Amino acid sequence: MFGRRPRFGQAQPTIVEELLERYDAGEIDFPGLSIAHADLRDVHVEGVNLCGARLQWANAARIHLRGSYLSFITLFQAYLRLADLRGCDLGYADLRETDLSGADLREANLEWADLRGADLTGALLEGANLRRARLEHTLLNTKPRQG
């Protein structure tokens, strides 16, 4: 009855390529974008508007989104290990069961974000706003990163 869910990074590459082409042409507004299972590893798209985007199950390891507007984004079960999210607005974001291990979240706004079951092991959180964030069952060990 239900098809198998694709693995991380198995979204249609043309959608991701189009996003990057538009960004390279100077566009920064992509509200409501929907790319489940996107392969966004090592992508640099800083200062973009992805408000309300749906990127669940994305593989976005080492993505650079510094200073981006990501309120209401859905990153459910996404892989954001070592992501650069400094200064991002992640208010009301759905980050349930997301791997944010080693991510740089300094000065990020995570107010009202849902981080239940997320992995924040080794994440940099200095100056991050976690007021009213849901943190039940979140792995949190903020020892400094090695290297």
The C-alpha atoms of residue 12 and residue 116 are separated, in whole angstroms, by: 29
Instruction: Read off the tokens for 110.
Output: 């995570």
The C-alpha atoms of residue 118 and residue 76 are separated, in whole angstroms, by: 9
pLDDT tens digits, one per residue of 80-123: 999 999 999 999 999 999 999 999 999 999 999 999 999 999 99
**46 exposed, middle or buried (CB, 10 Å; 0-12, 13-18, 19+)?**
middle
Model's pTM, two decimal places?
Answer: 0.87
**114 exposed, middle or buried (CB, 10 Å; 0-12, 13-18, 19+)?**
buried
pLDDT tens digits, one per residue of 47-86: 999 999 999 999 999 999 999 999 999 999 999 999 999 9
The C-alpha atoms of residue 120 and residue 136 are separated, in whole angstroms, by: 12
**109 exposed, middle or buried (CB, 10 Å; 0-12, 13-18, 19+)?**
buried
